[in-house]
Amino acid sequence: MNKIEKALMHALFIHLHHNTDKAVDFSAIEEVNRKVSQNLPGILTVGPGDDAAVFKISEKEDIYMVAKMESHCSPCVPNPYEAAHTCVDGSLRDVVAMGGRPIVFLNFVGTKPLDQKVLVGPCGFKGECTCGKCLEMTSKQRLEKIMKGIRDACQAMDVLIIGGGFSTSFSDIVPAVVGAAIGRLVAPQPLTKPAKSAGHKFIIIGETGSDGNDTLYRAGLVEEMRPAQPALEKERIAMEAALAAFKTGKCRACSDLGAAGIGAAVCESARYGGLGASIDLSVVPVKNKDISPEEILICETQARYAIQTEPENAQKIVDAARSKGAKAEIIGEINSDDKQVFTYQGKQIASIPNKPTEEQLSQLTK
């Protein structure tokens, strides 16, 4: 197991972001939904467990809605504006990835009393600046940055802000920044994350950069953590490109590229579908030429989607995405293997098994 394999496998099999079921009893939630569905039959279509939930708004009308909640609490300590912005973008992308167009957004923000001082910057978690780059401000000033990030993101995506919640009773260094997006399903059917069939092509929409390198940083593979940056107008372009792809009626699975980037999107989709994948990282559209293969594999750059379809439909989807000004490429395919193999210019960068051995799992916790 090389370093990048260990970093990605830790994210996929150990880190709670990708293993919520280790902390939350989903069987109890499923039981609640089973009982409620007796009174509301046919309402819930997908959820929880995929990129977003899908539900009918009534038993009689054939109209489906898509909903997702996301938080970006810790990132708001060093970068309140950017983190709040990407919190919105992340929840909106999950709605899109399920095949929906986002319509409305709600948020909850919890922070310290407004007159208390907070440290904003790289040393924010320590409470004392040693880098010379941090700013001391009031909790109110930080709140204004958070709310501006939320407003700017929703305006850029033409999404209404319809409400939320607010509290100043928090005492922790980390503020609460939570957002929920709701949209309408526009794809012919929900584009659930699991891969559907061996032979399907894997298409990426959007460009990959070296920001959002948290997984690499935690693994000690880079010296500086670079949080994911708002993609601004590219986020809107990527959304419209994905929606154009959906309108072809040829998309079979979709994911947005969040934490652990391409690596997580490919591995989770293939594993949940009981399949494997082969991906050529050298054909992934990138923002800068000096980006490393490891960064292409695992960085959390915003404004990206991964779509799967039959080989004969792949170019049609690429052309539909490009028609909206987005970068799009076929980067690999789903296969019948039990692992995901990532290469770059003919060299293997990582091989991730669907079921790590006990020895591999023990190495991930050291």
For CA atoms 237, 242, 328, 302, the dihedral sign is: positive
Q: How far apart are CA 228 and CA 310, in angstroms?
A: 32
pLDDT of residue 366 exceeding 80, the answer is no
Please give the DSSP secondary-structure letter assigned to residue 208.
Answer: B
pLDDT of residue 195 exceeding 90, the answer is yes
Neighbour order of strands in the sheet with 44-46:
44-46, 53-56, 64-71, 176-185, 100-110, 160-167
Q: Where are the alpha helices (DSSP H) in the chain?
A: 3-13, 26-37, 80-97, 139-156, 214-218, 233-246, 261-272, 293-298, 314-322, 358-364
CATH 3.90.650.10 fits 201-364, yes or no: yes
For CA atoms 86, 90, 96, 102, the dihedral sign is: negative
Task: Report domain extents, the chain.
Answer: 51-185, 201-364
pTM for the predicted model, two decimal places: 0.95
Neighbour order of strands in the sheet with 328-335:
253-256, 305-309, 201-205, 328-335, 276-280, 339-344, 347-353
pLDDT in tens, 111-122: 999 999 999 999
What tokens does 250 get? 């040829």
On average, the pLDDT of the chain sits at: 95
Q: Which of 215, 270, 268 is nearest to 3 (CA)?
A: 215
Phi, psi of 66 (to 5 degrees): -125, 135
pLDDT in tens, 67-106: 999 999 999 999 999 999 999 999 999 999 999 999 999 9
Q: Give the confidence band of 297 by pLDDT, cuts at 50, 70, 90.
A: very high
pLDDT of residue 146 exceeding 80, the answer is yes
| CATH class given for the domain over 51-185 | alpha beta
pLDDT in tens, 299-356: 999 999 999 999 999 999 999 999 999 999 999 999 999 999 999 999 999 999 999 9
Q: Where are the alpha helices (DSSP H) in 179-338?
A: 214-218, 233-246, 261-272, 293-298, 314-322
